A and B are shown apart, each in its own frame.
Chain A
């Protein structure tokens, strides 16, 4: 079993062949979500383009996190969640019977608001995902080391931590921890990376560095990023989605949204006149 090449294991969740030309990584159709009786998302239909950075903005409590957490079905952790409508990721409905949640989460990585590296070594953190997906059992140690090195290089952390790969990840600074949280997604070769206010726990310097890192992920990955920081949305995103009370109000190119918002509410929000 362990001789199966890592790539083959993904076969449970691969888009149909024709999809190589698709433009959209994520498509939702009339997606509604309730926490118990409370409706947090209302008929959300949105198409998120492949290979760009899409920002999700809106006042507190408008459902940004909720929407983001639908895309890897991690919302299902809470027992009281009901969803209707469709979500297609890489042209595959993620609520289909034959979809394995495990493979879905392999293709759709997530970075959280507070850096949450696991309380194990830096090295083990990077390989954690591969361990879950049985992807490194057959790999010799040198190749594992390469995987760790490549992932850490990609997030610009290698030079800082290469001498202490075996120390606990929780001893890193918050900025380094957040980079590590991004790095641990990379060995799984995800298509989409979801980020929920990835910079909000960092100081100004950390924000800049992590932002640069996020921008370097463009092209190779589809990034969806929730942010409260208008300047960041402006700087780092290609397209922006403005949400209000569980609904999508506007979804355009970032430059257009900030220069020429179509909706009054969008304008009010980006000018800081909303929560």
Chain B
């Protein structure tokens, strides 16, 4: 007994020591966690601030880069309504992003038309129909799909899809809205599948049983019970897919044909906002009008993203408010 009491005493004091260290370090750890949380916000703000600041001279006007010594200023009406994007013209550069916006929107919309049914269908299959091994394999494959770098997707569009589209459509070149739309769809499918699968699996089994016990077959159960029950999650999935589409750069740079024009069909090549920034920022003279305008395009992309997120929020909140009434 006399032997054991010092050891327990020692163990006790050791634990006390550890507790003391914990007492001492806890505020530090808490502080660190706070810092991590805030840093995310600060980074986003900083990025936005930087992009905005760099774009500002285009609007307020800049003197140094002026051709004839007068103040050069971006014509905002031209910027938003002109389909002409000729930034490096020696005579009269034109900065119209209408064609670029149409390019971005047309590629994104087409990709969603393809990806949403595909993604939802796959999510329903994985969560409700597939079982055991096939299901696990499918999930791994879909995750793998998400891990493919976008430049590889661009490569696929360029080398595989391009000749296929030429063969099938008879167009001289297969780099167009359709090509980029398909590639972008395949890129956004994994995110749509994984988010909507989570949403479907979060639906309590009792809802499924209610539907089935009332005579619904599996398809009716899916679209009459699961879709209404999971609609917020499904909506989030679709919006995340759209966000992915609008923000994607490398693949669309490679697959759209990258030519500035107002498309009249899905077989026309286009150029997107993101690809324009990526392709031109490196060669734009730092500080001149072209350079600042590219940052202004960045702001436009920010605004797009903001509108999408806001609508998502409002829709989700709208549903909630309705539900609580």
Contact = CB atoms under 8 A, between A and B. Distances in A.
Interface of A: 72, 74, 77, 79, 101-103, 105-106, 109-110, 112, 114, 116-120, 128-129, 131-133, 164, 167-168, 170-171, 181, 184-185, 188
Given A128-B224, A171-B323, A117 B210 contact: yes
Contacts of B211: 118, 128, 132
Contact of B215 (A77, A105, A117, A118): A105
Given A102-B217, A119-B229, A120-B228, A164 B212 contact: no
Given A132-B220, A168-B323, A171-B323, A110 B213 contact: yes
Given A118-B228, A171-B324, A112 B210 contact: yes
Nearest to A194: B213
- Interface SS of chain B: helix
A167 B211 CA distance: 19
A132 B214 contact: yes
A109 B212 CA distance: 10
A-B pairs, top 10 by smallest CB distance, nearest first, are A116-B206, A105-B215, A110-B213, A129-B214, A168-B323, A102-B215, A116-B210, A119-B229, A132-B215, A132-B216
6 contacts: A117-B210, A119-B228, A128-B214, A129-B215, A167-B325, A168-B322
B133 to A, nearest CB: 13
Interface residues of B, number: 22
A171 B322 CA distance: 11
B131 interface: yes
A78 to B, nearest CB: 11
Nearest to A116: B206
A236 B224 CA distance: 35
B203 to A, nearest CB: 9
Given A74-B213, A77-B212, A132-B216, 11 more contacts: A74-B209, A105-B215, A106-B215, A110-B213, A116-B204, A116-B206, A118-B228, A118-B229, A120-B228, A132-B224, A168-B322
A110 B225 CA distance: 17
Interface string B212-251: 1111110010001100110000000000000000000000
A133 B210 contact: no
Contacts of B323: 119, 167-168, 170-171
Given A119-B229, A171-B323, A181 B210 contact: yes
A133 B210 CA distance: 14
Contacts of A110: 213
B210 A131 contact: no
Interface string B291-325: 00000000000000000000000000000001111
B215 A116 contact: no
